[in-house]
Amino acid sequence: MTVSFLFGWQHILTGLLLLLVLAVLFFAVLAAGRGSRADWQAGLQARSRRRDEFAPDEEPADSVR
């Protein structure tokens, strides 16, 4: 009686193949997503404050006494 060299591995290989297809699909959707780099930059720029924008009595959070 002969046994296939893939005996017992079919389910594991099928799962790995499915995982690979899902990862490719995820990255394709991520690449085609809404918003461009300019949108991200504008959002980050609106959230950040430069060191010289602080009031005289206000200290930046990263300053150490």
This prediction has a pTM of 0.46
**What is the spatial distance between Cα 26 and Cα 20, in angstroms, rounded to a whole number?**
10
Query: What share of the chain has pLDDT > 70, as a percent?
Result: 68
Per-residue pLDDT at 11 exceeds 80: yes
**What is the spatial distance between Cα 44 and Cα 25, in angstroms, rounded to a whole number?**
28
Per-residue pLDDT at 65 exceeds 60: no
* Token pair recorded at residue 51: 């060191």
> Is the model more confident about 16 or about 50?
16
DSSP state letter for 55: -
User: Tokens 């206000």 label which residue?
Assistant: 58
* Token pair recorded at residue 18: 């499915």
**What is the spatial distance between Cα 49 and Cα 58, in angstroms, rounded to a whole number?**
12
Q: How confident is the model at residue 35 (pLDDT cuts 50, 70, 90)?
A: low
